[in-house]
Amino acid sequence: MSGMRVKVKLLGVAKDTAGFGQLEVDLGEKSTVAEVLETLFDGRGKLREAVWDSALNTYESCALVLLNGVEVGNLEGVDSRVGPGDELVLLSVAHGG
């Protein structure tokens, strides 16, 4: 199965928590935003805690997720499909400021 590469950018507290500002993620051909996030969170428990609300099973209470400039709540949420070369921006909604 041919894969694809997606660029992920982290902004705000998510960037500090992860220790990096961007990353390229390799995924299967038919992947969703949820799979990008799962791959990103793998082995990064603190990042997951910072941007994913496990009680509600969503990012919406603590972050914004933009796929090619569109907030995914305006698409199909984390079930939105990603394509080769897509850019995902994960932006913490952090208190203070």
DSSP assigned state of 13:
H
DSSP assigned state of 66:
E
Q: Which is nearer to other proteins, 23 or 94 (CB)?
A: 94
CB of 38 to other proteins, least distance (A): 20
Which residues contribute to the site for other proteins (CB under 8 A)? Answer: 11-13, 15-16, 53, 55-56, 58, 60-62, 64, 66, 69-71, 73-75, 89, 91-97
Contact 23, 68 (CB under 8 A): no
Q: Which is nearer to other proteins, 2 or 45 (CB)?
A: 45
Q: What percent of the chain is helix, strand and coil (3-state, nearest 5)?
A: 30, 35, 35
